[in-house]
A and B are shown apart, each in its own frame.
Chain A
């Protein structure tokens, strides 16, 4: 079995070289002794300064493009809300996003999305993997791909985090052939990862002795049989140890109280503060889910309710990333599984609509203060700049510095990182 280091991105190459250099500097057996050596500040800072990150806001259920990024006030399909000016002359968005409007100079609206899939599950799969779901194959989600291609090998923390609105936790089944190493660690309602506290029945000294014994056995074994499998095994074990030691990184309560005021005293506000904290500590990929936008009934009431939370939290998040110099290295994606129908149904609702909707991007190579693509007057069709899930997936990766036309080496087989029949949108890459 070959070691899965097929990603050829510049960032990954650097990380790999840095990793090998650190090994040379610290002597043989460093891997078996743990990853803590790589957490030294100088190494970590160098890695962090060049590492790209991705954060996805998943507007679960299907955000209405007409009540957010592509308003059509006055049109029969336009709904009751008005459009408001933004910090970018000529770009208007829905009045439900007044604070986000003031961050528009950091954002890029993609208004010509056509994914032609109105099913929740299938649409979500397409938007998260960049490909249509088929019985013949399963593909890794963007978080797993980001974790594999962007996370330094030396990282002591998981590269793929999903903050879910409800409780629960554990690991996701979203890495497909990349393997469980890249599957998501889910933080139910923003709580720290499950099972990362040493059991009370196990004393610190006993635990330490146990770890030492394990490491000695590892060293002995690796001196004779060093393979990719043993390396991955050791890595996973050491990562779990590091996760337990660095559990504090997941403790959002360490953030200043005033930030919770700014982001909003609700779950989404807290989750966005946590996302910022995780990104600042070098987590490669963070997904924040906001529920629920599947508004077949009273679409307008519910969008007031949901976007009121989102506007406050998201605008603060973007402002903070910009102020802290993180936008150049952090790709921000606001997506759903689809948009909502231009037609307003009898219950003041909007139904599923995938033929003309919007995604919002920011950071890394994405142009700032731009709107790409155009829908017609009533929002029923894309007129200019049509893109689909495959185009967007390529674009996310290219924006973050990953050559999306490259391949993973999966058990000796070249496996395309993104759908090889699609391509990135060059107009969205500065």
Chain B
């Protein structure tokens, strides 16, 4: 994966922001880069046209909040996952998209979605402690992957397609063989989990997963220093594992971001790892190099953000914000 021309996280700047009626939970670009789709604190999916911000509301697919988004490889369909446990397929570019297909995917929330590199499979992770694989083409259940002992928060395919990675509340990352459905390895992400005895709560978990395009690194994001989980006292943390040896190579931190949690991760074309963190003083895009513990750059967003998607050309980031806006940040110098 070559770095796109002009990529320079230190030159990041917001190029657009568009409103919605409720706080946003999720944001993703479609594979052809025409739209930003969002999920929010209502039962809608929002589509924003990247060229002009024109908003289209997609209704009828969910009974409550929309949490996760994914796309068919050709960009023809967007698939939304909701807190109602449902997956809904929509035509991405239809003038007024209607639900094409809705399936009962999980008992409890759908927490995360990912599509396999070959475009054939959709993986969903849920609060029923299950991971399920579906045919993208017709929504048929292909395989169920039981084995997690707590809510499954994150899912990502290895770029070569043979393996699936899933992370849960207790800080367990499982590696699954996609062909057989067998769990083959476990990465220990326990630093991302906290049990606070005084408050008697489990907290944290693997909120985000990303495998580097060259397959060398597995990154798992979340939080640590959770001295007061119920009061949002914690800081963002990313664990960087060597894929082959499973060795925890590095713990990426971002000092000074109290109340921070890494909600999303993406690898950039220059080999940087980008993380989205919320925090008491707003939202942040954080940038790390694999050989350094601390972020080499952070871009402050005007409001706390909860999710991000990287544009297929690798230069723009869509972030979903609590203040009812989706924002587009360009990771390059401003155009004169």
On whether A165 and B83 interact (CB within 8 A), knowing A76-B41, A294-B230, A346-B322, the answer reads: no
Interface size of A by Cβ–Cβ distance < 8 Å? 26
Interface set, chain A 163-204, CB cutoff 8 A to B: 165-166
In the complex, A74→B198 CA distance in Å? Answer: 34
Assess whether A305 is in contact with B202, with CB atoms less than 8 Å apart: yes
> Which of A31-39, A296-304, A420-428 faces chain B?
A296-304
Assess whether B230 is in contact with A297, with CB atoms less than 8 Å apart: yes
Taking CB atoms, residues of chain B closer than 8 Å to A44 are: none
Among residues of B, the one whose C-beta sits closest to the C-beta of A296 is B231
Assess whether A292 is in contact with B41, with CB atoms less than 8 Å apart: no
Dominant secondary structure of chain B at its interface with chain A: loop
Is B127 among interface residues, defined by CB-CB distance under 8 A?
yes
Interface set, chain A 58-81, CB cutoff 8 A to B: 61, 73-74, 76, 80-81
In the complex, A159→B178 CA distance in Å? Answer: 60
Assess whether B230 is in contact with A295, with CB atoms less than 8 Å apart: yes
Is A347 among interface residues, defined by CB-CB distance under 8 A?
yes
Assess whether B65 is in contact with A292, with CB atoms less than 8 Å apart: no
Assess whether B201 is in contact with A292, with CB atoms less than 8 Å apart: yes
Assess whether B200 is in contact with A292, with CB atoms less than 8 Å apart: yes
Interface size of B by Cβ–Cβ distance < 8 Å? 31
Is B208 among interface residues, defined by CB-CB distance under 8 A?
no
On whether A297 and B23 interact (CB within 8 A), knowing A81-B64, A82-B64, A292-B200, the answer reads: no
Chain A proximity of B170: nearest CB distance (Å): 12
Is A344 among interface residues, defined by CB-CB distance under 8 A?
yes
Assess whether B201 is in contact with A305, with CB atoms less than 8 Å apart: yes
Assess whether B278 is in contact with A346, with CB atoms less than 8 Å apart: yes
Assess whether A297 is in contact with B232, with CB atoms less than 8 Å apart: yes
Is B81 among interface residues, defined by CB-CB distance under 8 A?
no
In the complex, A154→B39 CA distance in Å? Answer: 64
In the complex, A61→B232 CA distance in Å? Answer: 15
In the complex, A346→B64 CA distance in Å? Answer: 18
In the complex, A305→B108 CA distance in Å? Answer: 12
In the complex, A254→B202 CA distance in Å? Answer: 30
Assess whether B200 is in contact with A165, with CB atoms less than 8 Å apart: yes
On whether A296 and B83 interact (CB within 8 A), knowing A165-B200, A344-B23, A347-B278, the answer reads: no
Chain B positions 248 through 259: 1 when the CB is less than 8 Å from some CB of chain A, otherwise 0: 000000000001
On whether A73 and B64 interact (CB within 8 A), knowing A80-B83, A292-B200, A297-B230, the answer reads: yes
Assess whether B199 is in contact with A292, with CB atoms less than 8 Å apart: yes
Is B3 among interface residues, defined by CB-CB distance under 8 A?
no
Is B176 among interface residues, defined by CB-CB distance under 8 A?
no
Assess whether A349 is in contact with B232, with CB atoms less than 8 Å apart: yes
Taking CB atoms, residues of chain A closer than 8 Å to B23 are: 344, 346
Assess whether A82 is in contact with B304, with CB atoms less than 8 Å apart: no
Closest 4 CB pairs of A and B: A297-B232, A80-B83, A346-B322, A80-B65
Q: Which residues of B contact A (CB under 8 A)?
A: 22-23, 41-43, 63-65, 67, 83-84, 108-109, 127, 151, 197-203, 229-232, 259, 278, 303-304, 322
Q: Which residues of A contact B (CB under 8 A)?
A: 61, 73-74, 76, 80-82, 165-166, 267, 291-292, 294-298, 301-302, 304-306, 344, 346-347, 349
